[in-house]
């Protein structure tokens, strides 16, 4: 199986790029961040303090997260059988996901599912620690990043297009806070693998970023 790992900070466009590349190559796309977001949705919905690790761990037996795919190949995230693909993209859930993902028991719960998918399919998987922890033997590891300002601008435009009321400065502050939290957490920090290719896409659009990764695959004779 061919495994492609795409890591990087929030808002770098990992999911959009990974989806487009997976569709082009006919690979299975695995959005690991969506899995953590689903747990965040459960925690918020049940009034659990996201910073109370013991309470989150106690809830894990009641949480079932799975992925499915619509006829058009779109990934669907299921939380206890309910499609939460839309709600997991709410801005508040981003911080919930970052907080609960620091808990080792949460990561262990999802790790086996992620690795099983990679062992049985050609996959493109994106997240924070795919190249360092989840798929350390991936044939290509990309650490994709952009400046906080570029990411905040993209996120603000994306949410405005969806009809949400947002403020650029608030989004920028949240991105900086999440970057710091993800980078400094003790469990699987969001850092590049030693053999990852660094890709700054601050000045690239989606097509340009996909093209850059396609070139990397071609150089390695993976396509």
Predicted pLDDT at 130? 94
- The whole-angstrom separation of Cα 168 and Cα 118 is 37
Model confidence over 39-93: pLDDT tens digits? 999 999 999 999 999 999 999 999 999 888 877 777 889 999 999 999 999 888 9
Residue 79 · residue 64 · CB < 8 Å: yes
Q: What is the CATH number of the domain that holds 99?
A: 3.40.50.300
Interval 11-24 mean pLDDT: 91
Residue 7 · residue 37 · CB < 8 Å: no
pLDDT at 180 over 80: yes
Q: How many domains does the chain have?
A: 1
Model confidence over 79-109: pLDDT tens digits? 999 999 999 998 889 889 989 998 999 999 9
pLDDT at 128 over 90: no
Give DSSP secondary structure letters for 46-111: TT--TT-HHHHHHHGGG--EEEEE-TTS-EEEEETTEE-TTGGGSHHHHHHHHHHTTSHHHHHHHH
* 3-class DSSP state of 217: helix
Interval 154-170 mean pLDDT: 89
Q: Count how many Cα atoms sit within 13 Å of the Cα of residue 34 in the half-sphere of its side chain.
A: 25
Range of the domain at 94: 3-219
Q: Please state, rounded to an integer, the average pLDDT across all residues of the chain.
A: 92
Q: In 3-state terms, the chain is what percent helix, strand and coil (to 5)?
A: 50, 15, 30
């Amino acid at each position: 199986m061919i495994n492609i790992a795409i890591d990087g900070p929030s808002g770098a466009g990992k999911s959009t790029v990974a989806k487009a590349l997976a569709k082009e190559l006919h690979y299975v796309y695995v959005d690991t961040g969506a899995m953590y977001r689903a747990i965040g949705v459960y925690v918020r919905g049940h009034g659990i303090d996201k910073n109370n690790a013991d309470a989150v761990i106690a809830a894990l037996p009641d949480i079932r997260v799975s992925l499915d795919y619509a006829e058009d190949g779109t990934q669907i995230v299921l939380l206890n059988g309910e499609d939460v693909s839309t709600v997991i993209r709410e801005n508040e859930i981003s911080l919930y996901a970052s907080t609960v993902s620091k808990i080792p028991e949460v990561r262990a719960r999802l790790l086996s599912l992620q690795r099983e998918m990679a062992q049985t399919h050609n996959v493109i998987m994106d997240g924070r620690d795919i190249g360092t922890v989840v798929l350390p033997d991936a044939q290509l590891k990309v650490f994709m990043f952009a400046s906080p300002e570029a990411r905040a601008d993209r996120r603000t435009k994306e949410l405005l297009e969806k009809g949400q009321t947002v403020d650029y400065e608030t989004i920028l502050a949240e991105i900086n806070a999440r970057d710091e939290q993800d980078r400094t957490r003790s469990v699987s920090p969001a850092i590049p693998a030693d053999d990852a290719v660094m890709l700054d896409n601050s000045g690239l659009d989606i097509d340009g970023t996909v093209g850059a990764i396609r070139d990397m695959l071609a150089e390695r004779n993976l396509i």
